[in-house]
Amino acid sequence: MNSIGFDETRVTPVPPRLEVKNLMRSFEGRTVVNDISFAIQPGQVTCLLGPSGCGKSTTLRMIAGVEMQDSGEIYVDGALVCDTIFRLPPERREIGLMFQDFALFPHLSVADNVAFGLTSGSKAEKRARVEELLERVDLMRFIDGYPHQLSGGEQQRVALARALAPKPKIMLMDEPFSGLDNRLRDGIRDETLNILKEQDTAVLLVTHEPEEAMRMADEIALMRDGRIVQHGAPYNVYTRPVDRAALAFFSDANVLHATVEGALAQTPFGQFLAPGHPDGTMVDIVFRPQHVRIDFDRGGTGPKPTATDGTAARGVVQRARFMGNESLVEFVMDYDDSILRATVPNVFLPKVGTVMWLTIRRDKCFVFDA
């Protein structure tokens, strides 16, 4: 019993809108989906994020019911929709689909394309829903047009409206925004999410673009070689990567190689704590360009060592580029001629050949086994 006299232990837990357990799929003896499990609540967006060929679309297709898993189960609102024995047909799963290769019906008008999935309701109700959706994707002017009269991006928005129309319990989206230009994409993305959240739809979105995942997801499931290697809120996945590849998937990464001695890794930037790495092991110290600090050379020396930033190492500017929000500077480091990248907010374009001193934020570094 809690302080307001409400017995929390008696509340029946609500099952997730979508749950997959231990999904497996092989093609010609090669496992492409390897023990995938996750759950999505109503109104939540999970992004399957990973490189090309890691098994994202195959996972989605199994949930949609157009591909059969070798083993594992799929549940919607706690009810089994598919295991190796039982299989609810795709059209009865109340799952909306928006795939890479969306196809509109060429012989149907835009309005009829959007209305296609609406099975219940009067003619007037269907028309109202079609108009509401076309309004929201900003295509009312094409309502009586035909797909061939629309640009690729416009057709994609019609396909979105069509997928949203029946208010599916779950929406599976496979790179649905990839054909849109940048300016249009942000608007359509946000509007699509608003509609899906209003409808309490659980969304599984596939993308290989980290920015898109960060922008859209409540949770990111990072995939590699058929497995989910890390799953969590975007902030956690970004700031606490499980390994070097997970970090490098989200941003550029600098790497220092070192050997552990007495739980410390010695580098040209001073010592790094390497707890949990036995003496003698090789480690990679990985950090993002935005966590490199740059100081000017003062008569052949750099800033004094500190506990938070370690020791400064000397480098020479090889290249500097303005990227819009920040500048990217590449250094050739004195200690072994390797390249280190640093980003600086706004405009910072030192001349090639300028000598500078670099330090690394200790709390922003990751030590991984090499």
Which of 44, 46, 58, 267 touches ligand ATP (CB under 6 A)?
Answer: 58
Minimum Å gap between C-beta 157 and ligand ATP is: 21
Stretch that binds ligand ATP, among 38-46, 56-64, 119-127, 286-294 (CB under 6 A): 56-64
- Determine, following the binding rule CB under 6 A, whether residue 208 of this chain makes contact with ligand ATP: yes
Judge contact between 88 and 66, C-beta under 8 A: no
- The whole-angstrom separation of Cα 124 and Cα 216 is 34
Which of 3, 12, 52, 182 touches ligand ATP (CB under 6 A)?
Answer: 52
- Determine, following the binding rule CB under 6 A, whether residue 56 of this chain makes contact with ligand ATP: yes
Q: Which residues lie near Mg ion (CB under 5 A)?
A: 57
- Determine, following the binding rule CB under 6 A, whether residue 101 of this chain makes contact with ligand ATP: no
Stretch that binds ligand ATP, among 52-60, 152-160, 271-279, 313-321 (CB under 6 A): 52-60
Judge contact between 146 and 180, C-beta under 8 A: no
Minimum Å gap between C-beta 55 and Mg ion is: 9
The residue among 300, 327, 331 whose CA lies nearest residue 317 is: 331
- Determine, following the binding rule CB under 6 A, whether residue 230 of this chain makes contact with ligand ATP: no
Taking the CA atoms of the chain, what radius of gyration do you get in angstroms? 26
- The whole-angstrom separation of Cα 203 and Cα 253 is 30
Looking at the Cβ atoms of 48 and 158, the one nearer to Mg ion is 48
Phi and psi torsions of 255, nearest 5° = -130, 135
- The whole-angstrom separation of Cα 110 and Cα 127 is 12
Q: Which does 54 bind (CB under 5 to 8 A by kind): Mg ion, ligand ATP, none?
A: ligand ATP
Q: Which pair of structure tokens corresponds to residue 20?
A: 């997959």
Strands 79-82 vs 71-76: parallel, antiparallel or unpaired: antiparallel
- Determine, following the binding rule CB under 6 A, whether residue 119 of this chain makes contact with ligand ATP: no
Task: Please report, as ranges, the residues that interact with ligand ATP according to CB under 6 A.
Answer: 27, 32, 50, 52-58, 208
